[in-house]
Amino acid sequence: MDIVDRIIISEEEIQARVRELGEAISRDYAGKTITLLCVLKGGLMFLCDLAKHITQPVAYDFMSVSSYGDATETSGVVRIVKDLEESIEGKHVLIVEDIIDTGLTLSYLLNNLHSRNPASLRICTLLNKPENRRVEIPIDYVGFEVPNAFLVGYGLDFKQLYRNIPFVFVPKKELIENL
């Protein structure tokens, strides 16, 4: 079964924009070491591609938070599934996120991380869905503004599948109904 209803952002568009974001981050963090904090699992592909284009020294750390489960819309209840391995106190931290939707998950995460006293805390998201925002989030780097639709691919999943597809798409309704 063909799973793609329509492609929202092509692989080429993603790679070009990720390069631009990496260049901007490199300029903004000149002379500093950056801790790239990847929000798993969706942010992993974006982190890997983005880091290739950052010329400043970077360290990686990972968190996993959950607010969706297997649903296509957030539950609003956020929990930390995997916490950081290293302290971020005094470090320049850049949160690398796949998509910011309602803002509820990231708002919780920001409050949690600010309490750990980083030198700076910024956000880089590949996809921004402002139409669905419930909590305003200060986003420093945005790859693309996207429509209020259920999106899959390039790290975004449906029931843990299709993260490996190199573009972002709206899946066919039959896919969602049949899985």
Q: CA-CA distance, 33 to 29, in Å (whole number)?
A: 8
Residue 141, class by beta-carbon neighbours within 10 Å (0-12 exposed, 13-18 middle, 19+ buried)?
buried
* Amino acid code (one letter) for 42: G
Catalytic center residues: 101
Task: Please give the distance of CA 169 from its chain centroid, rounded to a whole number.
Answer: 16
Buried b (16+ CB within 10 A) or exposed e, 73-86: ebeeebeeeeebee
In the numeric block, the tokens 């390039």 are attached to: 154
